[in-house]
Amino acid sequence: MYTEKRTGYSFSNKTGQLYYVGAYGLIVREDLEWSIDKNMPDSLFRTSQAYIAYGSTALYYAMTKNCISHDYKHLIRHPEHKQDDTSRDAVILFLSALKFNGDINLLNVLIDNLSYKLSERYTMTVAMWLWMKGLRGKKHSWIYNLSYQLLELITLVPSLLLTWITRRLAGMHYEFNQNSVPQLFLQEEVKNNKWFKLYKALQYPGYATNLGSMMIYSAKKIPILTWLINRLFRCEAESTNYFIRLLNGDKKAIKDYIDSDYQSMLGLRWGGRLNGESTQYIVDNKRHYNELDIDLMETLISNYLN
Quick: pLDDT tens for 66-94: 999 999 999 999 998 877 889 999 999 99
Q: Are residues 118 and 52 in the same domain?
A: yes
**Residue 140 pLDDT:** 86
Helix axes of 88-100 and 206-218: crossing angle, nearest 10 degrees? 30
Q: Are residues 50 and 139 in the same domain?
A: no
What DSSP character marks residue 262?
A: -
Is residue 262 scored above 60 in pLDDT? Answer: yes
Residue 139 Cα distances to 14, 98, 99, 100, 204, angstroms: 42, 20, 18, 21, 34
Q: Are residues 283 and 259 in the same domain?
A: yes
- The residue count for the chain: 306
Q: Which of 78, 105, 124 is the last residue of a domain?
A: 124
Closest Cα to residue 250, out of 287, 199, 213, 290?
A: 213
Are 267 and 281 a contacting pair, CB within 8 Å? Answer: yes
Q: Which of 124, 148, 165 is the last residue of a domain?
A: 124
Would you say the C-alpha torsion 126, 129, 132, 133 has a positive or negative sign? negative
Q: Are residues 34 and 24 in the same domain?
A: yes
What DSSP character marks residue 251?
A: T
Lowest-pLDDT range of 14-18, 164-168, 192-196: 14-18
Q: Are residues 110 and 151 in the same domain?
A: no
Q: Are residues 183 and 201 in the same domain?
A: yes
Segment 25-55, tens digit of pLDDT: 999 887 765 556 667 788 999 999 999 999 9
Residue 164 Cα distances to 53, 70, 170, angstroms: 31, 44, 10
Q: Which of 124, 157, 175 is the last residue of a domain?
A: 124
Q: Are residues 146 and 278 in the same domain?
A: yes
More confident residue, 278 or 32: 278
Q: Are residues 211 and 243 in the same domain?
A: yes
Q: What is the DSSP string of 57-82?
A: HHHHHHHHHHSB-TTSS-B-S-TTS-
Q: Are residues 293 and 169 in the same domain?
A: yes
Q: How many domains does the chain have?
A: 2
Torsion angles phi and psi, residue 135, rounded to 5: -80, -15
Helix (H, G, I), strand (E, B) or coil at 278: coil
User: Domain span at residue 83?
Assistant: 1-124
Q: Are residues 166 and 179 in the same domain?
A: yes
More confident residue, 9 or 171: 171
Q: Are residues 212 and 92 in the same domain?
A: no
Are 175 and 274 a contacting pair, CB within 8 Å? Answer: yes
Q: Are residues 301 and 160 in the same domain?
A: yes
Amino acid identity at 281: Y
pLDDT band at 282 (very low <50, low <70, confident <90, very high): confident
Q: What is the DSSP string of 122-186?
A: ----HHHHHHHHHTS--TTHHHHHHHHHHHHHHHHHHHHHHHHHHHHHTT------TT----GGG
